[in-house]
Chain A
C-alpha cells in the first residue's frame, strides 16, 4: 500500500496553481470530487444535494452552473523546507486537522464557510468548496505598494534607481481574486460590484461584525483574522445581496475564556490599522455589529478584555 502515491497527488497534478498563500499553495480543479452531502450550511442554498458521483466522472464540470460546481480548491500545505522536518510535519498535520474540524463545526452551526470536500492529512491536502468573490482586503484596497502577485508575471516593474527615487501608489487594486480568466478588471471591481447593489463600506463592516459574532458564538476562534481571510460572495438569490465567507482556519482553536475572543478581535483590529490606514475608522462599525450579534451579556467581558489586550503591545507611548 505504501508504495502508491497519495490520491491527492494526482488531483494536484490536474489542478492549476492559482495562489501561494502564507501556508499553502492553492490549486483549482474542476469538480471531480463527489458532491458534498453533509457539511452544508443551512442558511443558504437549500437545494438538496445530489447523490455522490464517482470521482472519475468528468461530466460534472461541464454541466455545472451552481457555485458548488464551479470548481474545487485544493489547499496543499507543502513541506516548508526552511523548518525542521519534524517540526514541519507536526505543524502541518495539526493545522490541517484543526482547519477541517473548525470548518465543519462552523458549517454545522450555520456559519458561512467553505465546505470541506476532501481531507488528506498525510498528503497535507484539504479540498474545499471554491468561494467566488473578493477578499475584503481587495475591496478596501490595501496591501503592498507596487508589488506583484505570483501568477501575473508579465509587466515587471522597473524599480527606480538609487535610494527610492520612485515609489508606487498606495491603492493598488487587488486582482489576485481566486478566479481564472478575465483578469482585466479595472480598479477594485469588488467594491464596484457592491456599489451597484447599493452596498456601502459601512454595510460591509456591519456584515463582517455579524459574521464574526456568529463564528464566535460557536466558540471557534479563528486565530488569524485579517481582511485577506474574509471573502465577499455575491448571493443573487439570497435575502442579502452578498455574504461574508470566512476562510483559512489553519490557526483556529476553541475558546475557553473571554480573553481568547478579545485576542481574535485584536488581531483583526491590527490588520485593519496596518493594511487599511484610510479605513481604520470603519473598524468601529465591525465592533458595533459584533457586539450586537453577540448580545450584551456575552459582549461585556470580551469588551473589558479587549481594552486590556490593546495595552499589551511593546513600547507604547505611555505619556498620553
Chain B
C-alpha cells in the first residue's frame, strides 16, 4: 500500500490565488448566529502554501431559559435582531470594507428552516447592495473544511457531532462519504434534551453543563448500548436515562446527601446520570469511528461540531487513536461550535474553483446531506 500510494500523489485542483481573496460567511442554521471574514492570500515565498487568515469570527447565541429548547420562529427572531450588529462587528474587526469582499458565503442547509432563511436573506441583500457574488454552503462541509484547515490534518476520518448531526465521514473521490450516522436523534440533541430533563441551564450551552456535572459522577448506571454496524441509535438511551430520574433511588439536586462517603450509598444523582450518559454514548461514537478507521485503513481522526469540544470525548478518542498509533485533531469552541468563519472557508474554496450561486438558486433547504456536495476543490 505504501509503495503504491506514494507514487500516486495527486495535485490539488485548487488554483492558487493571484491576489488576496476575502470572503464573508453568514451562518444561522440553529441557535447560533455567526459571521466571519477569512482571507486567502498568495504565499510570500514561491512554492509555499496559500496563507489563510481568519480576520474576524463573531458569534451571538440565542439562549433559552432552563428546561426549554429553541423554537424555529423565536430563533429566527433572535437572528433578525442581531444580524446587523454581528455583521458590522465582523467587518469592523476584520478591518475591511464591505466593498472589499470578493464573495459572500451563506449556509444553504441543513438546519432549521426559518433561521436559515434569515441568513440567506441577509446574504442576498448584501450581495445586491454591493454587487458581490454569492456561494451557498453545506453546513457540514463547512465544519469539515474549517477543521481540516485549523488542524492541518489532510485526510482524516471525520466525526461530526453536533446538536443536529452525528456522522462518521471519510473523503473519497470528491465526496465526503458518510460511513456511519445516527439512526434517530443526534448526540447533541440527546445531551441537550437530557440537560433539560434534569433542569440544567442552557447557558453557555446545555452540553457544556452536562460535561461539568459528569465530572462529579461516580456510579455508572446500565444504559442500552446501541451500535449497529457503523451506525448508532441514541433515542433509546435518552429514554432509558430519563427513566432513571423516576427511579426510587434518584435524588434530585436539592436531595443529594452531603455526607462523608456518598459514593457508598445506593442512590443515583444527576451527576451519575450525566456521567453514565456521556460514558455510554461517547464509547459508542468512538467505537463507530474506530470501525470506520479499521475499514478504510485510516489513521487520523478529526472531531468537528459542537459536541466535539467536549474534552471527555476528545480524551476517549485520543486513547483509541493512540492504541492504533493514530492522531486526533480537534478544535476549540470558537471553531467547533457553529460559526461564520467555517462557512466563509468552505465558500471561498468553492469560489476559488469558479463556483458561485446565482441569486435565484439561493434558496435554503432543511435537508442537505453531507454526501450531496461535489467537493471540487480536492483531488
Contacts and interface: CB of A to CB of B under 8 A. Distances in A.
A201 to B, nearest CB: 18
A228 interface: yes
A223 B225 CA distance: 14
Interface in B1-58: 1-6, 8-12, 14, 43, 48-50, 52
Given A87-B280, A267-B230, A169 B5 contact: yes
Contact of A162 (B49, B170, B228, B325): B49
User: Which DSSP category, helix, strand, loop or mixed, fits chain A's interface?
Assistant: loop
Interface in B157-202: 157, 165, 170-173, 175, 177-179, 181-183, 186
Nearest to A317: B367
Interface stretch (A3-11, A32-40, A45-53, A270-278): A270-278
Contacts of B229: 223-226, 251, 267, 270-271
A187 interface: yes
B1 A164 contact: no
Nearest to A165: B12
A256 interface: no
A172 B1 contact: yes
Given A80-B320, A162-B49, A315-B369, A145 B171 contact: yes
Interface in A158-211: 159-176, 187
A148 interface: yes
User: Which DSSP category, helix, strand, loop or mixed, fits chain B's interface?
Assistant: mixed
Interface residues of A, number: 69
Contact of B183 (A22, A137, A275, A312): A312
B124 interface: no
Interface of A: 20-23, 80-84, 86-87, 91, 137, 142-150, 152, 154-157, 159-176, 187, 223-226, 228, 251, 263, 267, 270-271, 273-275, 277-278, 312-319
Interface of B: 1-6, 8-12, 14, 43, 48-50, 52, 110, 148-149, 152, 154-155, 157, 165, 170-173, 175, 177-179, 181-183, 186, 220, 225, 227-231, 279-280, 283, 286-287, 290-291, 293-299, 315-317, 319-320, 323-325, 365-369, 372, 378-379
30 contacts: A22-B290, A83-B283, A143-B296, A145-B155, A145-B172, A146-B5, A146-B6, A146-B9, A148-B1, A148-B297, A149-B297, A156-B2, A160-B12, A161-B48, A163-B14, A163-B50, A163-B52, A166-B10, A166-B12, A168-B9, A169-B4, A175-B4, A251-B228, A267-B228, A267-B230, A270-B178, A275-B295, A277-B177, A312-B183, A317-B365
